[in-house]
Amino acid sequence: MAPIFAVRDHDAAMDFYERLGFTVRRYEGGGYGFACRPGVEIHLGVVPEDDHRTSAAYLFVDDADRVAAEWDSKGAEVHPPQDTEWGQHEGVLVDPDGNVIRFGSPIP
């Protein structure tokens, strides 16, 4: 399964995800692209400037603290991981378009 994130500036979105360590690929027809990491694929589709929808996805990772530190070092809006009552150590990334990636690893 691959979530589709609404973006307003395609080039900026592709650059953002590439900076976070995703491999990006643009759709040749324009206005659409793909951001991939091992086991993860996010589709990025352009919507009109006045379309304010956002999307969310959950990313299971081995070490949420490491992912948070990596993304934070790249200047992304990252809310640090915290332990949850359901046994996950979870953080949140918010991209420039307001899309959310919650990411978590099991509490040791």
Can you give the pTM of this predicted structure?
A: 0.89
Q: What is the C-alpha to C-alpha distance for residues 85 and 99, in angstroms, rounded to an integer?
A: 24
pLDDT tens, 29-85? 889 999 999 989 999 999 998 999 999 999 999 999 999 999 999 999 999 999 999
Whether residue 16 is predicted with pLDDT greater than 90 in this model: the reply is yes
Model pLDDT, residue 64: 97
Model pLDDT, residue 58: 95
What token pair was written down for 13?
A: 């979105």
Number of domains in the chain: 1
Which residues have a Cβ under 8 Å from the Cβ of 99 and sit 6 or more positions away?
5, 6, 7, 54, 55, 56, 57
Owning domain of residue 22: 4-47+54-106
CATH of the domain at 92: 3.10.180.10
Whether residue 108 is predicted with pLDDT greater than 80 in this model: the reply is no
